[in-house]
Structure 1
Amino acid sequence: MYIYPYFNTMNTKFPGLFLLALCCTTLLFAKEVAEEIPPPDYIKTIQFVGDSEFSGTPIIALGKPLTLTFDDIHGNEKDYYYKISHYNFDWTPSMLYKNEFLDGFDDVRIYQYENSFNTLQMYSHYTLTIPNQDSRALKVSGNYMITVYDSYNEAVFSRKFIVYENITTTRAVVKRSRDLNFINTKQSVQFEVSSPNLILRDPERTVETMIIQNNDINTAITGLKPQYTITNTLIYKYDQESSFYGGNEFLFFDNKEIRSATAGIQSVDLQEIYHHYLLTDIVRANRRYTYNPDINGNFVVRNLRADNSNVEADYVWMHFALECYENIGDGTIHIYGNFNNYTLDDSTKLTYDKKSGKYFLTRLFKQGFYNYRYVLQRPDGSIDQGFISGNFDETENEYTIITYYRAPATRYDRVIGIGIANSANITN
């Protein structure tokens, strides 16, 4: 016979069962944080573009269009579908129903695609633009995720994006760290959020911020609370809490001309498709900082001899070489950049060759201009971006500050404004 426990928080006859039930209830209502699904090997060159011309995690104004493109190098014109989801500030699912954040519907096929033309590597190029005839508009601001599915309803990959309302004004500056241990290696972002037309009630509880360096949402800083308020302005003058390692300028290669060597490319070889061999890179952490213009980790697809690079740019095997005599222990060295949304996997990992004493990697890239750098991934999964490239306070980096607000008694986190700062104007 089953005996039902008598629960009384003041006088519990079965404290163990009560605690078990409480834990189960907590787990039942716990929300899972959304993570992006990395694409399989046959999906290449995902570009997710909003207000900026560069790919990455789009940050777009409410009502503005965004475009997602990708290549399937199987080249057999598969059917792909998409779904859109809305999330809270912390990337847990929001309480909004689909019709509350989307005008129209999703879970429909991506109709626009075309096959590559005049390329050695065949591929199918897919384009999804929102709004479209099915998904007419996004109704509210906030964090979003778009997931691409195949005809078997299996998720192929997903990407985050952020929609904001232009309600607040964010003024930001980049300062050198006040901690003398990091004054030459870190950059601190200080900012103010002014809200002239919207009263931000109880901002310590209702306002959240996110600071993103070079469109890399994986290293974003969150959880900062306003230190004080002046009239309708929230002040954030943190030092270490809002600081990033400066890193170094990104390296680059440009293979817009596929048949001949260009900047950074040592030699070219034609096999089943073209192979490009880059000049050997070296460790920069023990050298002085040297300014080298970059596009902050981004990339641009282009073929010098094409009218439409989306379908006429070919794929090339790029050969990377790194001369590194530093002891990396059990860690692994990877190339890092927005070319794959700052993701580390087997396709980015370099292999050590004892004979030459160098690290090598061969990876498939679509023709274009690419930024990249070398990073060390330690056994615990953490990433040391300065181990090979170094960290310098003079490095030019771009920072984006995003402000979220959930008014009392509302059900989702609005994005009420963004701000931009650049460390080219760094001060003490």
Structure 2
Amino acid sequence: MRILTILAVVLCSTSVFSQQQQETPPPNFIRSITFQGDAKVSGNPIIRIEESLLLEFDDIIGDEADYYYTIEHFNFDWTPSQLNKSEYLDGFDEVRITDFENSYNTLQAYTHYKLSFPNKDTKGFKVSGNYLLKVFNTAKEIIFSRKFMVYQPIAQVAVTIKRSRDLSFINKKQVVNFTVNSPELLLKNPATTVKTLILKNNNLKTAISQVPPQYTIGNELIFKYDKETSFWAGNEYLQFDSKDVRAPTINISRIELLDLYHHYLFTDTSRDTEPYRYNPDINGQFIVRTLQGENSAIESEYIWTHFTLQNFDPLNGGQLHLYGAFNNFEINDTTLMTYNTHTGLYENAMLLKQGFYNYSYVLVKKDGTLNEGFISGNFDKTENKYQVLIYYRDLGARYDQIIGFGEASSINITN
């Protein structure tokens, strides 16, 4: 009996430690998180091993709280790797974030924090792969975490975007084809040692993974799937610009000043049945900026931004949510569009920092899956950016390294 008990504990411990790591979303008092590499794209950065990272966020309690950070290494499937910290990190972590400033001349007080890598404590990364940055408080409670990927350009990745070969989706889907050329590293048994990750607009939550190569020509791996690497094309993101807190600009209909500024956006409507219109966007991203100060990080106001949506299509038990990089493409209670029986509109108000924002509306179906085109529609002409990461674990290796990265835009989509 004692042996069985010990065995059960060991099995439970193994199950816990092998679980896939999920990101921890921030609490309501942590706002405007930007996490980016040299490419200046926020969300889940993809950087070369020698490039830098920058994390910024606000605490709207504004009491100069102490925050610390740790960095952990993971396998391709986001289970913990077998590496010790000294094997993947040059320097050390569990260090307090010391670069912070209080807001200046704003109605909403907040403390702005900034953390950059490399720094005097964390000097860099020794190996490529998946990483997780955790921010926690003095009580060792995790406040939020963000995933990022570090790669070494050992293999060359060429990416092209095609229309679907299925005539039912030729005007609605975009297909990612790519090749991997590795002249300096022999990829042994690529069907099992090579793994792939395909992202649309740097959104890790809708990524396609573990697509094996179709065939090999010398040192080149060919991935020319149709269905397996296809994405719904979506539509250009909606946008607004609140850089001028006192005057309506892009998509802002009126402004009120109560305890804070309130910006009311023009009512959005379904675009699913409308013809496609090209409207340049920043692929769901946001940029903090203000005309009322010189330092946007600490002089930008926080504004209650009011969204309204007119929709007549039945939801069939689903829910409509706001969607974008402003909260790392998370779906939660703060993004829910609530139906107002008096106005006949779906409404939401979010506290957002001044800036230029991309956003869209998505349907969360009854089974929990997303339908990104329910309101916006899907059009093959939509400009999206796709990223492809190539992972490799040689026989007997202890971790998954990222040996290649490629990206392409659908602006030049072909049949």
> Above 0.5 in TM-score?
yes
Counterparts of residues 26-425 of structure 1 (less than 5 Å): 27-30=12-15, 31-425=18-412
| Cα pair 1:301 1:368 within 8 Å, conserved | yes
SS of residue matched to 2:228: helix
Note the aligned Cα RMSD (angstroms). 1.5
Q: Shift of residue 65 of structure 1?
A: 1.1
Structure 2: how far apart are the matches of 1:427 and 1:133?
47
* 1:168–1:271 distance in 2 versus 1, CA, 3 Å: same
Letter in 1 for 2:385: E
Aligned counterparts of 1:338 and 1:332: Cα–Cα separation in 2 = 19
Which has the higher Rg, Structure 1 or Structure 2? 1
SS state at 1:240 partner: coil
Q: Deviations over 1:140-180 (max 9, x none)?
A: 10000001001111000000000000111111111111111
Task: Tell me the CA shift for residue 326 of structure 1.
Answer: 0.8
Deviation at 1:362, TM superposition (A): 0.5
Is the contact made by 1:37 and 1:157 (CA closer than 8 Å) also made in structure 2? yes
Residues of 1 paired with 2:387 and 2:124: CA distance? Answer: 25
Deviation at 1:135, TM superposition (A): 1.0
Deviation at 1:381, TM superposition (A): 1.3
User: Is this contact kept in 2: 1:280–1:320, CA < 8 A?
Assistant: yes
Partner SS, residue 403 of structure 2: strand
Matched letter for residue 238 of structure 1: Y
Contact 1:54–1:299, Cα closer than 8 Å, also in 2: no
CA separation of 1:195/1:188 partners in 2, compared to 1, >3 Å: closer, same or farther? same
1:307 Cα deviation (Å)?
1.3
- What is the one-letter code of the residue matched to 1:198? L
Amino acid at match of 2:167: L
Count matched residues: 413
The residue identity in structure 1 corresponding to 2:14 is F
Q: Distance in 1 between matches of 2:297 and 2:129?
A: 30
Which amino acid is the alignment partner of residue 408 of structure 1? L
Structure 1 stretch displaced more, 23-32 or 40-49: 23-32
Whole-Å Cα distance in 2 between the matches of residues 307 and 209 of structure 1? 43
The AA in structure 1 aligned to 2:157 is: T
Please give the alpha-carbon distance, in whole angstroms, between the structure 2 residues aligned to 1:24 and 1:422.
49
Aligned counterparts of 1:25 and 1:301: Cα–Cα separation in 2? 48
Deviation string 1:237-270 (CA, Å, 9 cap, x unpaired) is: 0000000000010000001111010010000101
Unaligned runs of 5+ in 2: none
Q: SS of the residue aligned with 1:241?
A: coil
Deviation at 1:133?
Answer: 1.4
Q: Which amino acid aligns with 1:95?
A: Q
Q: How big is the shift at 1:113?
A: 0.3
Contact residue 336 and residue 348 of structure 1 kept, 8 A: yes
Distance 2:8 2:367 in 1: 29
- Kept in 2, the 8 Å contact 1:83–1:146? The answer is yes
Against the structure 1 CA distance between its residues 21 and 237, is the aligned structure 2 distance closer, same or farther, given a 3 Å change threshold? farther
Offset, 1:103: 1.2
Q: Which amino acid aligns with 1:113?
A: F
Q: Distance in 2 between matches of 1:290 and 1:78?
A: 46
1:207-247 CA-to-partner distances (Å, cap 9, x unmatched) read 00100000110000001001111111100000000000000
Question: Which residue of the partner structure matches residue 7 of structure 1?
Answer: none
**Post-superposition offset of 1:132:** 1.1
Q: Distance in 2 between matches of 1:86 and 1:153?
A: 19
Structure 1 unaligned regions, length at least 5? 5-16
Displacement, 1:21? Answer: 9.7
Q: Secondary structure at the match of 2:166?
A: coil
Point out the more displaced range, 21-30 or 114-123. 21-30
Regions of 4+ moved over 4 Å: 20-28
TM-score, length-scaled by structure 2: 0.97
Which whole-Å CA distance do the structure 1 matches of 2:178 and 2:290 have between them?
Answer: 40
> 1:105 offset after TM fit, Å?
1.0
User: What SS class does the counterpart of residue 369 from structure 1 fall into?
Assistant: strand
Provide TM-score, normalisation by structure 1. Answer: 0.94
After superposition, the C-alpha distances for 1:282-319 in whole angstroms (9 at most, x for unaligned) are: 00111111111100000100002321101111100000
Residue identity opposite 1:39 in structure 2: P
Q: CA deviation at 1:24?
A: 7.5
Q: Go from structure 1 to structure 2 and tell me whether the alpha carbon gap of 1:328 and 1:3 turns closer, same or farther (over 3 Å shift).
A: closer
CA distance in 1 between partners of 2:38 and 2:45 (Å) = 7
